[in-house]
Chain A
């Protein structure tokens, strides 16, 4: 069975600080995909990134960066120089092929609060 753990329920930082959101996953499949989604207070889910299990390169997109480490089954997300608009709930999710179901397995989310 697949599992995604986001141990940080809530994080609060002051604007301009860097912040890292942790994601640990469990799967027996060798082929899988990892995702991060953002859910702002308005409620919609915004896709941020997709990474497959064969690509361990870290990725940077503006102030966002992702660190994928298969050795520790982690896919962590860092926001550099945080801004108030980054305040949201962030979900890490896992998609595998071996379990039969084709949907995403989500973590419970991390509520990020950026204080001005």
Chain B
């Protein structure tokens, strides 16, 4: 089984809808991240979490919220989806200290109509 899983893998939704993307990991890492990838722009950090009680905004947090339900679970929500949130979303994990490599899930392709 994959160490970092994301559900759903693909999602189509309409403008104004609330949507949640979920991430689970079995690596035992304490740090988790959410990124979005847009064509030609690389990946940009949305939110990150050092542990269940520590949530931090990244570069592009507006329009998003997160929940760290457990060490192994980190969810990303779009409260009211808009078309420019159409992107590929990645969850990642890393070991304590944050100096290790970040390991990414398979990604979720989101299309907002």
Contacts and interface: CB of A to CB of B under 8 A. Distances in A.
Interface of A: 4, 9, 33, 35, 37, 43-45, 47, 50, 52, 91, 93, 95, 101-109
A107 B43 CA distance: 8
* Chain B residues touching A, majority SS: strand
Contacts, number: 60
27 contacts: A4-B42, A33-B99, A35-B101, A35-B102, A43-B88, A43-B106, A44-B104, A45-B92, A45-B104, A50-B100, A95-B99, A102-B31, A102-B33, A102-B56, A103-B33, A103-B35, A103-B45, A103-B48, A103-B59, A103-B102, A104-B35, A104-B102, A105-B45, A106-B42, A107-B42, A108-B41, A108-B42
A40 to B, nearest CB: 12
A102 B98 contact: yes
A4 B99 CA distance: 18
A44 B33 CA distance: 15
Contacts of B104: 37, 44-45, 47
Interface residues of B, number: 26
A9 B45 CA distance: 21
Interface of B: 31, 33, 35, 40-45, 48, 50, 56, 58-59, 88, 90, 92, 98-104, 106-107
Contacts of A107: 42
Contacts of B106: 43-44
A102 B33 CA distance: 9
Nearest to B98: A102
